[in-house]
A and B are shown apart, each in its own frame.
Chain A
Amino acid sequence: MDVREAQKIAALARLDLAETELHRFATQLTAILGYFQKLAEVKTDGVPPASHPRDLRGPLRPDVAEPFAAAPGLVQRSAGADGDFIRVPRVLE
């Protein structure tokens, strides 16, 4: 990974990084990804990907709204709290 690619990834991840960080991460991620290449040795043709442990089943329940007492508290903790709302910089110009 070169510094330009690191810059592109940082932008995708919404991370402002200093020039020194970009250089350091580009070097370190290159080393880490090089080590990860080891996975290519494992034959996985036709193996289904396992995104979760094996026996997990999603439970179902009736679609009924329940009150959540802590909801106002969650909003109040925002740095942009304004009554029942959260202020953010303008999204659309």
Chain B
Amino acid sequence: MAPTSTPPPWSRSARAIAAAVRDGSLRARAVADYYLARVERHDPAVHAFLHVDPAAVRAEADAVDARIASGDKSGALLGVPVAVKDNLCTLGQPTTCASKILAGYVPPYDATVVARLRAAGAIVLGKTNLDEFAMGASTENSGFGPSRNPHDLKRVPGGSSGGSAAAVAAGLAPLALGSDTGGSVRQPAALCGLVGLRPTYGAVSRYGLVAFASSLDQVGPLALNVDDCTLLMEVIGGHDERDSTSRPGPFRGPAAGDALTGLRIGIPAEYHADGLDPEVRAAVARVEQLAVAAGARLVPVSLPLTQYAIPTYYLVVTSEASSNLARLDGVRYGPRREAGDLNHMYGATRGSGFGDEVKRRIMLGTYALSAGYFDAYYKKALQVRQCIGREFAQAFGQCDVLLGPTTPTPAFPLGEKSSDPVQMYLCDVFTAPAPLAGLPALSFPCGSSRGGLPIGAQLQGPTGADGRLLAIARALEQRLALDLSPLEAPRGA
């Protein structure tokens, strides 16, 4: 099927797709064909996907249509294709974490979030690219080549959920799942002009998410607008007994009504320090003005430990990764490199299977956990982590939410930071603190640079405030009145 020149109105919103499929005015198969055609046409330039099986997608869509024909119209995502980050297990479809060490691995079960998508009538459109094992902020660390930002193909889409973000921004999928350890949903959402939520730690099941840093990892939705983000979050959120860190009870979405009148918005001084791009600063300032005009109050707050979040985060994350990735040794998963005895097999398999950044982080974590360095590095980081949590708690005594930029700059050119790990780590300066404290945080589009690159603003809230963040972002989105349509075609080819 040839792609139509003008995108249909329903392609602007997942909720519109589900409604049209439910009322019979649109067939799930037509939706699937539309997105498959766009993937075929535009993904060679964007490289958002690692794996798409068109026959399986069409079969799933036909099954949804058959279900509707039989009278079963249940499911919040009826006929909605969803792009799924390739670190989430999908029954019968490859799950590689963009790593050669898992090349060709096909899990025998679905992650809970994937099972919930299917139960809601969604269609798994394909598996999206990421920095290998979600370690990176640009998708350049993928073992299978980088993804590109559809707003400017010479620039990165962010990472590590860069493929998921690029897919939605380019109109290759109406919704996507990502995972956020230190900003991997919010940063690509900001750089690609999307809404991305990092839920409260434990709000979304991690059963079937390949573990990277277990005290930080969370699955989160990426969408074109706040309403779609809410819709996806309501499907994937809520307790799962298969995840021992899962919070009890169902997910509570945004309450109806005015979210801004009387709202106390904390503005951390440290988020406006040197190094913040002037256009990002101006776009966030506009959000502040709109919030005040709608009845919110700005509260200056101070989070002096912000400057320590990056070293704290990277010590925790590399220590946990060095332990979690020990299971990838050629015994149970992926290709094995035979090399004499057991230890040589481990070393050869891991040495040839992991990419540069993964090796670097395993080395760093192994060092931080090793005898003689444990107290100075890992334990110290956990103590500073405690202090960062206390600092957030104090701030939330003075305000309801925090507002600031998601990233210091808009999307940067491919290759600009890839040779300097510390520069790449500094991309996480505004997104790493919340995960250390288990807090929810949301990035939403708030403008664009003169060059047309999207800019994101970040809301952070106390534990369990996910629904409130969505309500506030929805109110601000209405007032910002930006064009939130997906791109008709990638730019800058």
Contacts and interface: CB of A to CB of B under 8 A. Distances in A.
B63 interface: no
B354 A89 contact: no
Nearest to A61: B241
A70 to B, nearest CB: 4
B363 A77 contact: no
Contacts of B332: 74, 77-78, 86
Contacts, number: 166
B454 to A, nearest CB: 29
A53 B215 contact: yes
Interface in B189-219: 201-202, 215
B210 to A, nearest CB: 14
B144 interface: no
A13 to B, nearest CB: 4
Nearest to B104: A77
Contact of B438 (A12, A13, A29, A54): A54
A39 B340 contact: no
Contact of A80 (B336, B352, B384, B439): B336
B331 A78 contact: yes
Interface string A50-81: 11111110110100000001100110111110
B241 to A, nearest CB: 7
Given A38-B311, A39-B311, A14 B329 contact: yes
B249 interface: no
Interface stretch (B150-158, B289-297, B375-383): B375-383
Contacts of A49: 379, 382-383, 385-386
Contact of A53 (B363, B384, B438): B438
B422 A35 contact: yes
B347 A15 contact: yes
Contact of A54 (B246, B344, B437): B437
B108 interface: yes
B334 interface: yes
Interface in B304-350: 305, 307-308, 311-312, 314-315, 322, 326, 329-336, 338, 340-348, 350
B359 interface: yes
Contact of A12 (B311, B370, B386, B439): B370
Nearest to B370: A12
13 contacts: A10-B363, A13-B366, A15-B354, A32-B422, A39-B312, A39-B315, A42-B383, A44-B386, A44-B387, A50-B386, A52-B245, A53-B463, A77-B333
Interface of B: 105-109, 201-202, 215, 241, 244-246, 248, 305, 307-308, 311-312, 314-315, 322, 326, 329-336, 338, 340-348, 350-352, 354, 359-360, 362-364, 366-367, 370, 377, 379-387, 389, 421-422, 425, 436-439, 463
